Structure 1
Amino acid sequence: MNKVRTLEEMPLGKFHYQMFFYTGGGAFIDGYIIGIIAVALAVLQPQFDMSLTVVGMIAMAMYVGMFFGGIIGGYLTDLIGRKTMFLLDLAVFVLASIPQFFVNDPVQLIILRFILGVAVGADNPISATYMAEFAPRKQRGALLGGLIALWYVGYGASFLVGYWMLGLGEDSWRWMLASSAVPALILLLGRLKMPESPLWLASKGKEKEANAIIQGVFGKGVVLSESLETKEKTSFMDMFKNGYGKWTLFIALFWTLQVAPAFAIATYIPQVLGEFGFADGNKEYLGSAIMSLFYLVGLLPAVFLVEKIGRRPVLIWPFLVSAVVLVILGITSSWQMSFAFTISLFIIYGIFNTSMNIHQWIYPNELFPTKIRGTAVGFGTGVSRIGASLSTFLFPLILSTYGIAVTMYCCAALFFIGFLISFVMAPETRNMTLAETSALNKPSSKPGSELNPKRETV
Structure 2
Amino acid sequence: MSRTDPGAPRTISQRLDALPFTRKHGKILTGSGIGWALDAMDVGLISFILAALTQHWGITKGEGGLIASVGFAGMAIGATLGGLLADRIGRRQVFALTLLVYGLATGASALVGGIALLLVLRFFVGLGLGAELPVASTYVSEFAPARIRGRLIVILEAFWAVGWTASAIIGYFVVPASEDGWRWAFAIGAIPALYALAVRWGLPESPRWLASRGRTAEAEQVVASFEAQLESRVAGAGSATTADPAAPRAAEPASAEPNVADLAAPQPALARRAGGRVAALWSTEFRKRTVSIWLVWFCVNFAYYGAFIWIPSILVDAGFSLVRSFGFTLIITLAQLPGYAVAAWLIERWGRRLTLSIFLIGSAGSAIVFGTVHTEAAIVASGMALSFFNLGAWGALYAVTPEIYPTSLRATGAGWAAGVGRIASIIAPLLVPILLVAGGAGLTFTVFAIFFIVAAAATWGLVDRRGKALDDR
The normalised TM-score by structure 2 is 0.87
Report the number of matched residues.
431
Aligned ranges for residues 2-41 of structure 1 at < 5 Å? 6-41=15-50
Aligned ranges for residues 77-156 of structure 1 at < 5 Å? 77-156=86-165
2:257 is the counterpart of 1:221: no
Q: Distance in 2 between matches of 1:275 and 1:167?
A: 17
Pairing partner for 1:252 from 289, 294, 298: 294
Q: Which residue of 1 aligns with 2:355?
A: 314
Q: Distance in 1 between matches of 2:115 and 2:246?
A: 54
Query: What is the CA distance between 1:192 and its match in structure 2?
Result: 1.4
Q: Distance in 1 between matches of 2:348 and 2:17?
A: 15
Question: Which range moves more in the overlay, 164-173 or 76-85?
Answer: 164-173
Question: Which range moves more in the overlay, 316-325 or 6-15?
Answer: 316-325
Pairing partner for 1:207 from 216, 226, 232: 216
Q: Which residue of 2 aligns with 1:427?
A: 463
Aligned ranges for residues 180-329 of structure 1 at < 5 Å? 180-219=189-228, 221=245, 226-230=264-268, 233-234=271-272, 235-277=277-319, 279-280=320-321, 282-329=323-370
Query: Structure 2: 5+ residue runs without aligned partners?
Result: 1-5, 229-243, 248-261
* AA matched with 2:266: L
Q: Deviations over 1:256-279 (max 9, x none)?
A: 1112111121111112223444x1
* AA matched with 1:434: L
Contact preservation (8 Å) 1:72, 1:122:
yes
Query: What is the CA distance between 1:383 and its match in structure 2?
Result: 0.2
* AA matched with 2:466: R
Percent identity at matched positions? Answer: 29
Contact preservation (8 Å) 1:61, 1:389:
yes
Query: What is the CA distance between 1:342 and its match in structure 2?
Result: 1.4
Contact preservation (8 Å) 2:343, 2:396:
no
Task: Give the 3 Å change call, closer, same or farther, for CA 72–283 of structure 1 in structure 2.
Answer: same
The normalised TM-score by structure 1 is 0.90
Query: Structure 1: 5+ residue runs without aligned partners?
Result: 436-456
2:385 is the counterpart of 1:354: no
Q: Which residue of 1 aligns with 2:382?
A: 345
Q: Distance in 2 between matches of 1:215 and 1:204?
A: 18
* AA matched with 1:17: G
Query: What is the CA distance between 1:227 and its match in structure 2?
Result: 3.4
Q: Deviations over 1:14-70 (max 9, x none)?
A: 111111111122210111001111111111123322222211110111111111001
Q: Distance in 1 between matches of 2:246 and 2:432?
A: 51
Counterpart of 1:56 in 2: which secondary structure? helix
Aligned ranges for residues 41-56 of structure 1 at < 5 Å? 41-56=50-65
Query: What is the CA distance between 1:230 and its match in structure 2?
Result: 4.4
Query: What is the CA distance between 1:167 and its match in structure 2?
Result: 5.2
Counterpart of 1:346 in 2: which secondary structure? helix
Query: What is the CA distance between 1:75 and its match in structure 2?
Result: 0.2
CA RMSD in angstroms comes to 2.1
Q: Distance in 2 between matches of 1:161 and 1:141?
A: 31
* AA matched with 1:9: A
Query: What is the CA distance between 1:222 and its match in structure 2?
Result: 5.7
Q: Deviations over 1:340-380 (max 9, x none)?
A: 22101111121111111113322221110111100011101
Contact preservation (8 Å) 2:367, 2:446:
yes
Pairing partner for 2:403 from 335, 355, 366: 366
Question: Which range moves more in the overlay, 177-186 or 152-161?
Answer: 177-186
Q: Deviations over 1:174-225 (max 9, x none)?
A: 1112221112111111111111111111111111221112112322726997
* AA matched with 2:245: G
